[in-house]
Amino acid sequence: MSFKLLHKDKSSKARLGLLNTAHGKVHTPCFVPVGTQATIKALSNDEMKECGTEMIMANAYHLYLRPGEKVLKKAGGLHKFMAWDGPIMTDSGGYQIFSLAVLRKVRKEGVEFKSHIDGSKHFMTPEHIIGFQKILGSDIMMPLDECLHYPVSRNNVEESLKITFDWAKRSKKARATKQMLFGIVQGSTYLDLRKRAVEEIVGLDFDGYAIGGVAVGEPQDLIHEVTEYTASALPQNKARYLMGVGTPLDMLDAISEGADLFDCVVPTRNGRNGQAFTWSGELQLRNAPFKEDFAPVDKKCACYTCRNHTRAYIRHLFNTDEILGLRLVSLHNICFYVKLIETSRKAIKEDRFKKFVKDFKVRYRNR
């Protein structure tokens, strides 16, 4: 249970690290696919492993509502339940409080919310969330936090930071020693508030630090201004997790800004909607130009999808609502993301990450 900083790129702020968890090692930078409901939608564990996925992410809020504490306890934890023997991170549900805002009431003690599934009322405290993540047996737990949408007034951010900090303290107290617990830095786009949040959270000494409240509606340049600023303020010897980011370009930029871990629904969600990521840009595979395109999704990709199938076939699968279509593109996208980060690690090791990103952007023109 530790993080080792192995190398710092000489051409950028990119870092190479090794995260040791109870269920294995994670090489950073690392992309962590999102499996909210204890499954990476449409993909099997074997497929994830074949892509080279080292760690996956699940969501405490969702699993708390379904299947619930009792089932997960009886199952012997999340690893056994979903038959994934590698590292698992779990998000607390802080983001859900934000994204399901209509239903929530944030109080100092915790959050009151209505289940989006059956409307039942629940009250969750930071202690509950940690307790539940203990039952899950997550390798990396996240504390309950409040994630605000952009834009938000300075006053609201200051008020919110107090709650997030208080919850962080309480989460720390309630933590389990065998699992890692990260602290989350909020502060929206107010850099001085970000700085204050970093000082407070780092003062509590967590196993790693997350940059939250980023890519929640703000313009591109702000995403990176906040990320770079916050990452630079965090300690060198701890992993930095940029929550919810992102697109290939956002991730690469964030790596140059010093972030180590990323989770994002984009490769899977967009994959289910027919968008493929490739070394030469993004493809809307449902679009007409692919009707008779018998090339693989990406010539440079060695994934199952690209080894066996054509763009024309995948477009056909989407047009006929066949399940295999979503599976093939999700699989390709995950493989692409993992490979992109693997290649990034190599470039960092060789101190040429800045050039690597520059070259990648030239080829990745569609955006």
Partner RNA sequence: GGGGACGUCGUCUAGCUGGCCUAGGAUACGAGCUUGUCACGCUCGAGAUCGCGGGUUCGAAUCCCGUCGUCCCCG
- Which residues would be at the binding site for RNA (CB under 7 A)? 34-36, 40-41, 57, 59, 91-92, 94-96, 98-100, 102-103, 116, 142, 145, 147, 184, 186, 210, 212-213, 215-216, 220, 223, 243-247, 250, 263-266, 268-270, 272-275, 284, 286-289, 291, 319, 321, 323, 326
Judged by beta carbon, residue 295 or residue 355, the one nearer RNA is 295
**Which tokens belong to 343?**
């290649």
Choose between 57 and 135: whose C-beta lies nearer to RNA: 57
If the CB atoms of residues 224 and 349 are measured against RNA, the closer one turns out to be 224
| Residue 162: CB minimum distance to RNA, A | 16
- Cβ-Cβ contacts under 8 Å for 200 (sequence gap 6 or more): 161, 165, 168
DSSP characters over 68-132: -HHHHHHHTSHHHHHT--S-EEEE-SHHHHHHTGGGEEE-SS-EEEE-TTT--EEEE-HHHHHHH
CB of 116 to RNA, least distance (A): 4
Closest contact distance (angstroms) between CB of 358 and RNA is: 19
Nearest distance, CB of residue 167 and RNA, angstroms: 10
| Tokens encoding 91 | 């998000």
**246 near 222, Cβ under 8 Å?**
no
Q: Strands of 56-59's sheet, edge to edge? A: 30-33, 261-264, 239-242, 208-211, 180-185, 140-141, 88-91, 56-59
Q: Nearer Cβ to RNA, position 7 or 134?
A: 134
Nearer to RNA, 99 or 153 (CB): 99
We find the least distance from the C-beta atom of residue 349 to RNA, in angstroms, to be 25
Cis bond leading into 248, ω under 30°? no
Q: Pick between residue 14 and residue 210 the one whose CB is nearest to RNA.
A: 210
Residue 259: how many CB atoms within 10 A of its CB?
31
Q: Among all residues, which ones are annotated catalytic?
A: 91, 263
Q: Which tokens go with 174?
A: 């309630």
138's tokens: 């997550």
Residue 107 CB, nearest approach to RNA (Å): 18
Cα-Cα-Cα-Cα dihedral sign, residues 84, 210, 331, 59: positive
User: Is residue 54 within 8 Å of 30, Cβ to Cβ?
Assistant: yes
